Structure 1
């Protein structure tokens, strides 16, 4: 998983993207999973790689309670932020409580999930290896808990207006997402299908839905709120930086490419769709 302090888990970035994440997630999968949670009183929900807690803020109020959330992350600074932002009531007014737990998703085992109703994660799977995704699926299925895994990149980016270098930067970024780092081969855009396969092979019932970011630089983000240009600009810079890190010969084009894109962003003319997928896996007994 990404190390604490890396750009993908920087608090300012996580906060900037939160409303676009909320607008993108597939609510129909939440509805499909509600029946499983209603069997547990209270529902115990473990949010792995929780970051600043955006998943809990989005999901707790959409589920019936009572709920007890376990917010788990490797970064103690992010955990402190997550603990202060959780809602206190569920969709039906029942109480929501939360605790924090410092730990690595890769170390999660079925025994730790005993009594857990649901495991959640947001924008995490693409940072894992195939072995780690398999391990997560095995732990959830063995423990009999559902999993709602949202906002996994799929390697599809649409930028309007088009630029001749879009395809080359996109391909380099996808390769960067699949890079080998610290002896780990990351799944990147292959993570969604890998999760579907891993849960299905273990007997879970799996559904997936698209959950694209839709960034409008004409003044709104993916949730229709002000700030779309700021989010698109930050995403664009990170996207270009990652592509150049993977394919250094792109550096000679990066400055001019970024200026063209930034100018369109400032003019409110840039539209960006970043493809993601959400995956819901229900244990066989609940399906």
Structure 2
């Protein structure tokens, strides 16, 4: 499984095992990319004892493993996903203690993330998600934002459609454009937002009276991350060729050249993402 766009956050389904493998492979790059200054901002606004954190589309639990040790005090994490295996894996591997040694407890909820309501998130101190927004439609983003409104929200690692290779190849921009079109495709009657999602979500939070902060959270891949580069690159290229079949021919030589470059230690790539923090407006 090499592209998160293949995951539908709505239906309650059991995903193939390689999706969990993909999430595990990308976790170090995710952790390195996350915008840590947003944690400082959200920490100052958290209330509740224990803190109650709802993690939407938790996957294998990478957000909890990264964030729980950065927050003080007792925490109760409520993990949401449509896949039973991912929920079990995440619940078994969250850190047992917060930044100050206070206990971290966990519960899981399996269901359709796109149908969550404010009642489902009642009592939340914080709502989080990683790599979720770009898999949603405009309508689904509006519903998720409405459900989260009025409480702190940290949505991390949304793709924004910018990929920069060093050195540059003439086909980079064309492949990237085709991939972005693939991210925006209509599948199963759902028109995905892809790289437009974070801007749509930011605007929706503002309409709901939140203060929004956006930060870059790019992956930086190269010869030191050969396995992740290969999985990402294969999925990126396959999606582009699926979207524009005329790229299949030139993509062969392009792929061989890029793989040779990374194996020789002369290629790096920046895959841009955005982290979004939405905080209820504080009236003076």
Bin for the TM-score computed over the shorter chain: over 0.9
Q: 1:9 to 1:178 in 2, by over 3 A?
A: farther
Deviation of 1:216 after TM superposition, in Å, equals 2.4
Correspondence for 1:246: 243
Q: Is 1:164 aligned to 2:161, yes or no?
A: no
Correspondence for 1:174: 180
Per-residue Cα deviation, 1:166-192 (whole angstroms, up to 9, x for no partner): 111000000000001111110100011
Higher helix content, 1 or 2: 1
Contact 1:9 1:51 in 2 (8 A): no
**Where do 5+ consecutive residues of structure 1 fail to align?**
220-227
Contact 2:126 2:151 in 1 (8 A): yes
Q: Is 1:34 aligned to 2:43, yes or no?
A: yes
Correspondence for 1:233: 230
Correspondence for 2:86: 78
Equivalent-residue separation in structure 2 for 1:285 and 1:202 (angstroms):
13
Deviation of 1:103 after TM superposition, in Å, equals 1.1
Equivalent-residue separation in structure 2 for 1:56 and 1:44 (angstroms):
12
Deviation of 1:284 after TM superposition, in Å, equals 2.5
Correspondence for 1:108: 116
Correspondence for 2:203: 197
Correspondence for 2:155: 149
Per-residue Cα deviation, 1:110-140 (whole angstroms, up to 9, x for no partner): 0111101111000010000111111111111
Deviation of 1:269 after TM superposition, in Å, equals 1.5
Deviation of 1:146 after TM superposition, in Å, equals 1.1
Per-residue Cα deviation, 1:66-110 (whole angstroms, up to 9, x for no partner): 100011111111111111110011111111011111112101100
Per-residue Cα deviation, 1:238-263 (whole angstroms, up to 9, x for no partner): 00000011111111122211111111
- The 5 A counterparts of 1:1-287 are 2-3=7-8, 10-37=19-46, 39-141=47-149, 144-217=150-223, 219=224, 228-285=225-282
Equivalent-residue separation in structure 2 for 1:198 and 1:92 (angstroms):
35
Q: 1:68 to 1:204 in 2, by over 3 A?
A: same
Per-residue Cα deviation, 1:188-208 (whole angstroms, up to 9, x for no partner): 000111111000011011111
Equivalent-residue separation in structure 2 for 1:170 and 1:6 (angstroms):
27
For the aligned residue pairs, the C-alpha RMSD in angstroms reads: 1.7
Number of equivalenced pairs: 275
Matched position secondary structure for 1:85:
coil
Equivalent-residue separation in structure 1 for 2:16 and 2:245 (angstroms):
19
Deviation of 1:5 after TM superposition, in Å, equals 6.3
Equivalent-residue separation in structure 1 for 2:22 and 2:250 (angstroms):
25
Q: 1:6 to 1:275 in 2, by over 3 A?
A: farther
